[in-house]
């Protein structure tokens, strides 16, 4: 790789595989709507801490330095996955997601990382909401059924997972969907 090469990247917490069956059950509920939804494969599910977009390879070392510095203040923590919702709102549904219990340390971690990333020239995240994307709605087909399913699953409890590491990932877009590769894994 040449130094002037760019990569599409993000910082994420990977999903604990033990929770996948319950999440696939949620996707099955949305599949019953027969709506035009592109579902996220379980191997690609994650909680994004920061989406960098296309960055110059030379920036990777700076990002690694920031992450290493910030996570020194953190140890492993638990996330309780619960609640189902959508972005941007129930009238214009683009993304289906599962959320987290309030009070999770992920919010503080994201804020601390974001403050340091701003020093590298990245934009501040506005209204960060920790979520696990499970699907992207491609058209308004069967919108009422999607809304009803969101309402039915609004208070769903998926379960807890422990977070021991975060990963800087490379995302390569392909016709089959994004392909994620670890650039660097940071232990908490």
> Before 88, cis peptide (omega within 30)?
yes
* Contact predicate 97/41, CB 8 Å: no
Per-residue pLDDT tens digits for 44-72:
999 999 999 999 999 999 999 999 999 99
Hey, which residues are catalytic here? 46, 131
For the domain made up of 6-187, give the CATH fold. Answer: Cyclic Phosphodiesterase; Chain: A, (3.90.1140)
What gap in Å lies between CA 145 and CA 151, rounded to an integer?
Answer: 10
What gap in Å lies between CA 166 and CA 172, rounded to an integer?
Answer: 19
Spans of all domains in the chain: 6-187
Average pLDDT over residues 148-166: 97
Triad 3, 9, 15: Cα angle to 5° = 145
Does the global pTM surpass 0.75? yes
Q: Which of 117, 135, 133, 136 is nearest to 125 (CA)?
A: 117
Which DSSP state fits 17?
Answer: G
Q: Above 70 in pLDDT, residue 9?
A: yes
Per-residue pLDDT tens digits for 76-101:
999 999 999 999 999 999 999 999 99
Q: Above 70 in pLDDT, residue 1?
A: no
Average pLDDT over residues 134-138: 97
């Amino acid at each position: 790789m040449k130094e002037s090469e760019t990569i599409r990247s993000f910082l994420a917490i990977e999903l604990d595989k033990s929770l996948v069956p319950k999440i696939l059950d949620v996707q099955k509920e949305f599949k019953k709507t027969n709506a035009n939804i592109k579902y996220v494969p379980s191997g690609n599910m994650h909680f994004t801490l920061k989406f960098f977009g296309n960055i110059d390879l030379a920036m990777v070392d700076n990002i690694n330095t920031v992450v290493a510095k910030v996570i020194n203040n953190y140890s492993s923590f638990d996330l309780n996955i619960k609640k189902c919702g959508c972005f941007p709102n129930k009238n214009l549904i683009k993304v289906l997601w599962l959320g987290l219990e309030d009070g999770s340390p992920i919010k503080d971690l994201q804020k601390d990382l974001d403050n340091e990333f701003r020093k590298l020239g990245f934009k501040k995240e506005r209204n960060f909401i920790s979520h696990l994307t499970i699907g992207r709605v491609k058209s308004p087909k069967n919108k009422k059924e999607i809304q009803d399913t969101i309402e039915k699953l609004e208070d769903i409890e998926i379960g807890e997972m422990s977070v021991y590491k975060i990963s800087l990932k490379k995302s390569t877009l392909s016709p089959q969907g994004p392909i994620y590769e670890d650039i660097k894994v940071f232990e908490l």
